[in-house]
Structure 1
Amino acid sequence: MNSDPADTFRQEARELLEQLEQGLLDLEHNPDDADLVNAVFRALHTIKGSGAMFGFADVAAFVHEFETAFDKVRKGLSPITDALVAVALDAKDHIHALIEAPDAAEGAGEPILFALRQIVDGDDAFPAAPMAMPAPADDVPLEPTGKWRVRFMLPTDALVHGTNPMLLLGEIADLGPTEITAFVDNVPTLDVIDPEHCNLGWQVDIEHADPTAALDDVFMFLKDGMELSIEPLAIAAAAEPELAPAAETILDILAEETEAEALAAELAPIAKSSKQPAREQKEKPEAAASTSMRVPAERLDELMDKVGELVIAQARLSQLAAQSSDLNLKTVAEELERLSSGLRDTTMGIRMVPIGSIFSRFRRLVHDLSRELDKDIEFITTGEETELDKTMIERLADPLVHLIRNSVDHGLESAEQRIKAGKPAKGTVKLSAVYAGAEVAISVTDDGAGLNADRIRKKAEEQGLITPETRLADQELYQLIFAPGFSTASAVTSLSGRGVGMDVVKRTIDGLRGKIELSTRPGEGTTMTLRLPLTLAIIEGMLIRVGNGRYSIPLSAVEECVELPAEVATHSRGRNFLDIRGSLVPFLRLRDLLDIPGEPDAHQKVVIISSGEGRTGLVVDQIIGNNQTVIKQLSKLHSGLETFSGATILGDGAVALILDTSRLVSFGQAHEEKFRSTGKVAA
């Protein structure tokens, strides 16, 4: 293995820290959920054990103190409060800092631990060991006897995960003189026994000054799911003077180990046949879990590039086969087309990631903003299972942060204002994702005051974006919030006021070939919806020809194709609407927009595409057909051509530009307005 073990630990620790954060945030809303408390404790315990194993001593030491304090919560000795969750989240951040940059985080942990223990037990010192000792009975002397009674029962699935109870008992026996007995009351009869389940329990009387810390190390990876008690022998004997476990001593067990193994081997077929259905059901989820593996993102990118090249080669082969009369060549081309199409879909599926992987991190953002702004906020997420290309997921994080911060800071009113308006004091921010055809729609909705058109207009006039005479519809006015430097905040704070947040959102979404839709109702709230393509790598396109140039239109934007009426084709200007089944659809002539010389074909076609909330027609000379379009980015020299989202290589080696339909329509409308204005002036 060439991978660094420390990097492996960091990767696993990030997942555990994410689980820890989600568990703590869930506890804030469900403080009485014992399962959540145990999940948080397990995450802490695993980080501590793995940190110690991989040499992260500072991490293990800090998490040990964190775990020690949280153990009181698990035992019900300290309640879950908002203050406890806040400090625990700070502790989680410090653990992350210790893992990623140990030197930078040095010395920052003690104040967090001090605040944590103040909340948990009101004391500035932790107990000497993580296990609290029970109070001695009145008739038992307080002096330590040096003898302890340990009782434990392993998790039922301990044997399945490779735990050997004999080795554990041997480690305990190494600590000092011991007397070990086993509890067999829970062992089922032979006809129903499952040899993979651990049904035994053990009692160990040991002579030791204080075996608590040593036993903690023995059961490091089992403690969370097992039953364990440690008491001074005198106290245990006083509590249960007539305890008589029904078992042999450990000496007898060790002496008969070989016979036990032989008996187990002899009984295994019997147990297997009696428990076969249950075991088969049990093995299925385990098999599913073992099929997943981590793959570096760079390898997926490289695989996607290779598949893209294969798609281009396949398109070229299909074109050659179409021009040939060789049946064998046609057969091979069809087979390769089928295989490359399947490989393309599989590769794209590998790159798809549930959007919930970034949704979860925004819970912490809303939690922190709620405390900072003193607003009571309920954060709701839906559609976490919706999948999107991993490159889209990575680039979506920042825009969504800005949208959520905007909703919390500008959208939601204070509790007093909400009550005066007849709303609940607690505001709501909802983050959702749904499939919308070949797109994914991600919405951020708040139930705040909504956008104030008058205030936006006033600010826009102050910043020179519009003049007092400019007439804009409300929807056009709302789009001004995405202008660079625009902000309606009266003062610059740590959250808003600089006018860069929504500008970042707009530029990022445009770079992803997406679009932003905004709807608002005064006094009721605002919804901002991001519409994004599923992938940025390979798309289905419609190949068209205008003049001698070929272009590709994303097939997801195409609704239908119609013939351009002869009477409309004769007018180069003026009439730019088509009557399609009783509905007027505006159209744009690509030959004019792209300034292509020459005369148009006699029978032009119109490709009807969806643009925003309406439909627009694009007049072309010829519709060639559909093709798999591998998107290649334009060079820096051509990156300013906003009407094109990229280029693709055709089967004959020629390059076809990919039309960005939304920007093309906007450009076309501006072009038409300019023409009308120029025409009026000339007249």
Structure 2
Amino acid sequence: MITLDPAETFRQEAADLLDVLEQSLLDLEKRPGDADLVSSAFRALHTLKGSGAMFGFTAVSAFIHDFETAFDQVRKGEAAASPALIAAALQAKDHVAALIADEASADPDAGTAILAALARAIAAPAAADWLVTFRLPDNALELGTNPKLLLDEMHSLGACEILERSEPAAPVGDIDPDFLHLAWVVRLDGAVDQAAIEDVFLFIRDDMSLAIERTGGAAKSGGGEETAPAVAAPAAAARREPEAESAAAAPKDKAATLRVPAERLDELMDRVGELVIAQARLSQIAASRHDPALVGVAEDIERLTASLRDTTMGTRMVPIGTLFGRFRRLVHDLSDGLSKEVVLVTAGEETELDKTVIEQLADPLVHLIRNAMDHGIERSEAREACGKAGKATLRLSAAHRGAEVAITIADDGAGLDTARIRAKAEANGLIAPGTPLSESEIHRLIFEPGFSTAQAVTSLSGRGVGMDVVKRTIEGLRGSIDLASEPGHGTEVTLRLPLTLAIIDGLLVRVGSGRYTIPLAAVEECIELPRNADAMRGRSFLDVRGDLVPFMRLRDLFHADGEADAYQKVVVVSSGQMRVGLVVDQIIGNNQTVIKQLSRLHSGIKTFSGATILGDGTVALILDVMNLVGFGQKLEERRRETALGRAA
């Protein structure tokens, strides 16, 4: 019987509530007038306070009480959700997390300072966007009113932008020059209240038309009555940032979920893997006995095993949005720290990936995002000088591609500096000066250990360990990295990862007396090796429906014993943008492959990603297509160099 720790139960629930709070605050910074977001954040605070008191977290409850009191003024419309308030609230959320993790080690003075910052943010007039629409009396010019002076006075309150100007409705010839036919719509961004804006029009207020609205929220009209904005509110409601949906719906989504320890899921997956192996043995025995009854039972068990496997694997699949949500705060904080305006846009959050893969993706993605914001994205003034928008865009997306998931991190920054990367690589001894390399090969040098083009070591970069971590982690997950960059237009990094690390569909092949499994997701087609292939060793290319596909003989790579079969087969596989043919002696057929990791003794063998147990109890190695292709290409290059040397 498992005894649940009440404190640990609270910590698990609090983690979800803190996630909701953080996402709501980040959304609220973009949409300060969204009442649903304010309510979502307030509900999360209120639930945390009550649960904390119930489970004995008194310091948490006391701190949140003051936090909640300040935020309640926003909920009641007595204060605006200003950037200063959001920044203080995010710090308060971090302090709550520290109190929950270990109340004794949390700094009480830090909590006091955060609450003081919240109080100042509530008390100070918040910088806000105001939409001011005004039309002066027709005889304003006759009375000596100068519209330019009014606009200049508004500009003294904050940054102003004229959004539109109505043109005279009458023909030009009929316009009376003594009358004013124009109206203005001005957006004002400043830490001012509505009264300060009204004072600009103090002496002509009675005879003019004036409407003042706070963008995104309810505001008072020029007559002083509480009204809903006619323009601003609908626009704000429709202007949903593409980077994330409101966190308000999160508690609703979690109502039907059940918490299960990760260890239990891992154990269940192991049992299903053993069942798949046993089922394969049963099917092989049934096929050899030619007993219809036994074959029927074997087929039923195979069907049920496949269903159980898919269901069990489904419990391990987690939407990648749970990971993407963490990076909104990272981008928010880095934008402030680097003084760069960056918008994070996410897509494909519903894409599911094995939880084991997601857990190991956090660090690589953090390194890639930090690298893009520190090295790739320019400051606003530099972007504007190049004709770009001052605000940069960082895109984080995921999509299924066959049995893989492609995760893309793209920025619209300056792109990779090829000359600078090459010079640094030569200085570090990674390549010899003058070594002929393609642009793509030079770009991939950034993943080498210790490589960095930073001028100085900072808290973000300069030590050359980040991208190396990315490469090692992705390769450890049997994935690959695609890198593309265009000078002046940005860089795109795509991580290609298997859906699961537990069970895959494989193509079983024989090479000599050994049997090997090729991941079926990497297989494009199987063809017969031409009879004249021996005469083609100089070029090792096949003509596959008009496309030249290089091929390699696994017998040569693995030093297989015995004579090659008379009719060898070619399995055409793909890795990223490359297509390669693998020559085998025999294609045995498809099988369910339960992946078993190789021992540490064999960890340096990159050609194989693991092993599996076949139905007859023997072991088959699983080919790592990406590394195998790279190994074969290097071997082919050495052969060509040797042939050229002999010819010379």
**Please, what TM-score do these two structures have when normalized by structure 2?**
0.79
The CA distance in 1 between the partners of 2:379 and 2:401, in whole Å, is 34
Shift of 1:291: 4.2
2:174 matched residue in structure 1? none
Paired residue secondary structure (1:385): coil
1:672 matched residue in structure 2? 636
Paired residue secondary structure (1:323): helix
Question: Match for 2:51: what amino acid?
Answer: S
Shift of 1:288: 9.2
Answering whether residue 603 of structure 2 is matched by residue 602 of structure 1, we say no
Question: Match for 1:76: what amino acid?
Answer: G
Answering whether residue 358 of structure 2 is matched by residue 358 of structure 1, we say no
Contact 2:513 2:561 in 1 (8 A): no
Question: Match for 1:119: what amino acid?
Answer: A
Shift of 1:676: 2.4
User: Among 262, 281, 295, which residue is 1:330 paired with?
Assistant: 295
Q: Do the aligned partners of residues 482 and 348 (structure 1) sit closer, same or farther apart at CA in structure 2, a change above 3 Å counting?
A: same
The CA distance in 1 between the partners of 2:465 and 2:491, in whole Å, is 19
Rg: which structure is higher?
A: 1
Answering whether residue 49 of structure 2 is matched by residue 85 of structure 1, we say no
Shift of 1:632: 0.1
Answering whether residue 621 of structure 2 is matched by residue 620 of structure 1, we say no
Count of aligned pairs: 521
Answering whether residue 502 of structure 2 is matched by residue 501 of structure 1, we say no
User: Among 116, 119, 122, which residue is 1:117 paired with?
Assistant: 119
The CA distance in 2 between the partners of 1:469 and 1:411, in whole Å, is 26
Answering whether residue 523 of structure 2 is matched by residue 522 of structure 1, we say no
Shift of 1:325: 1.6
Paired residue secondary structure (2:286): helix
User: Can you give the 5+ residue segments of structure 2 that lack an aligned partner in the other structure?
Assistant: 126-249
Paired residue secondary structure (1:681): helix
The CA distance in 2 between the partners of 1:534 and 1:678, in whole Å, is 41
Question: Match for 2:510: what amino acid?
Answer: R
Q: How does 1:623-634 map to 2 (within 5 A)?
A: 623-634=587-598
The CA distance in 2 between the partners of 1:673 and 1:122, in whole Å, is 69
Answering whether residue 383 of structure 2 is matched by residue 381 of structure 1, we say no
User: Among 432, 435, 449, which residue is 2:400 paired with?
Assistant: 435
Contact 2:39 2:75 in 1 (8 A): yes
1:50 matched residue in structure 2? 51
1:555 matched residue in structure 2? 520
Shift of 1:639: 1.0
2:31 matched residue in structure 1? 30
The CA distance in 2 between the partners of 1:662 and 1:84, in whole Å, is 49
Answering whether residue 529 of structure 2 is matched by residue 581 of structure 1, we say no
Shift of 1:584: 1.1
Q: Do the aligned partners of residues 399 and 601 (structure 1) sit closer, same or farther apart at CA in structure 2, a change above 3 Å counting?
A: same
Answering whether residue 309 of structure 2 is matched by residue 344 of structure 1, we say yes
Shift of 1:106: 3.8
Worse-matched range after superposition: 105-114 or 525-534: 105-114
The CA distance in 2 between the partners of 1:286 and 1:457, in whole Å, is 50
The CA distance in 2 between the partners of 1:466 and 1:40, in whole Å, is 53
Question: Match for 2:99: what amino acid?
Answer: L
User: Among 606, 612, 625, which residue is 1:648 paired with?
Assistant: 612
1:464 matched residue in structure 2? 429
Question: Match for 2:642: what amino acid?
Answer: T
Shift of 1:116: 1.3
Shift of 1:598: 2.2
**Please, what TM-score do these two structures have when normalized by structure 1?**
0.75
The CA distance in 2 between the partners of 1:66 and 1:286, in whole Å, is 21
Question: Match for 2:61: what amino acid?
Answer: A
Shift of 1:115: 1.4
Contact 2:24 2:37 in 1 (8 A): yes
The CA distance in 1 between the partners of 2:251 and 2:385, in whole Å, is 55
Contact 2:91 2:114 in 1 (8 A): yes
Q: Do the aligned partners of residues 290 and 410 (structure 1) sit closer, same or farther apart at CA in structure 2, a change above 3 Å counting?
A: closer
Residue identity over aligned pairs, in percent, reads 66
Paired residue secondary structure (1:457): helix
Shift of 1:633: 0.2
Answering whether residue 456 of structure 2 is matched by residue 491 of structure 1, we say yes
Paired residue secondary structure (2:601): coil
Shift of 1:675: 2.2
User: Among 296, 300, 306, which residue is 2:265 paired with?
Assistant: 300
2:376 matched residue in structure 1? 411
Shift of 1:121: 2.3
Shift of 1:87: 1.0
Question: Match for 2:113: what amino acid?
Answer: P
The CA distance in 1 between the partners of 2:255 and 2:412, in whole Å, is 44
Q: Do the aligned partners of residues 492 and 429 (structure 1) sit closer, same or farther apart at CA in structure 2, a change above 3 Å counting?
A: same
The CA distance in 2 between the partners of 1:47 and 1:29, in whole Å, is 24
* Cα deviations by residue, 1:146-203 (Å, 9 ceiling, x for unpaired): xxxxxxxxxxxxxxxxxxxxxxxxxxxxxxxxxxxxxxxxxxxxxxxxxxxxxxxxxx
The CA distance in 1 between the partners of 2:437 and 2:545, in whole Å, is 31
The CA distance in 1 between the partners of 2:500 and 2:23, in whole Å, is 28
User: Can you give the 5+ residue segments of structure 1 that lack an aligned partner in the other structure?
Assistant: 124-284
The CA distance in 2 between the partners of 1:337 and 1:451, in whole Å, is 51
The CA distance in 1 between the partners of 2:543 and 2:390, in whole Å, is 51
The CA distance in 1 between the partners of 2:425 and 2:107, in whole Å, is 47
The CA distance in 1 between the partners of 2:394 and 2:576, in whole Å, is 25
Q: How does 1:556-571 map to 2 (within 5 A)?
A: 556-568=521-533, 570-571=534-535
Q: Do the aligned partners of residues 550 and 447 (structure 1) sit closer, same or farther apart at CA in structure 2, a change above 3 Å counting?
A: same
Q: Do the aligned partners of residues 8 and 286 (structure 1) sit closer, same or farther apart at CA in structure 2, a change above 3 Å counting?
A: closer
Paired residue secondary structure (2:384): helix
2:285 matched residue in structure 1? 320
Question: Match for 1:454: what amino acid?
Answer: A
Shift of 1:682: 4.4
* Cα deviations by residue, 1:278-313 (Å, 9 ceiling, x for unpaired): xxxxxxx99997642111110000000000000000
